Amino acid sequence: MDESILEGLASVKGYLGGAINNYTGECLVCDAAKLSGDLEETSATFNDIFRDSHAVSKNLSLGATQIMEIHTEKAVILMGCSGEESRVHLHMFAVFNSDGNVALGKMALKKILPKAVEMLS
């Protein structure tokens, strides 16, 4: 898989970077050109957070987590899941500056994840 799959995110206002990981945390694709730090390594930590979220929400009989948002002083991090029942269980991460268009970012995640699953099936 190459970075071109993230193009739908790159055009969203405020986009800083994104990654797609498999369920175990291995980074399959990463675009961090506008970020400082190591997004590939950080995405593995985000992956752990997302997996913990799956467990907690299921423990409360709420089902698996589909999308999470983390708001920081300078950014919004979106985390999306392809679905536990999908042929390939993927987690996707996107980082936007604080005035970025998070709503469009969520829509892009929902479009990209099925394409990524299809590419890996």
Domains of the chain: 3-120 (3.30.450.30)
| Tens digits of residue pLDDT in 28-76 | 999 988 888 888 889 999 999 999 998 999 999 998 899 999 999 999 9
Query: Of 29, 20, 39, 32, which Cα lies nearest the Cα of 89?
Result: 20
Segment 81-87 shows an average pLDDT of 89
Q: Which of 76, 56, 83, 78 is nearest to 67 (CA)?
A: 78
Give the tens place of pLDDT for each residue, 88-103: 999 999 999 999 999 9
Using DSSP's 3-state secondary structure scheme, residue 75 falls into strand
Cα–Cα distances (Å) from 98 to 9, 40, 70, in that order, read: 15, 21, 11
Indicate the pTM of the whole model.
0.90
Name the band, by pLDDT with cuts 50, 70 and 90, for residue 84.
confident
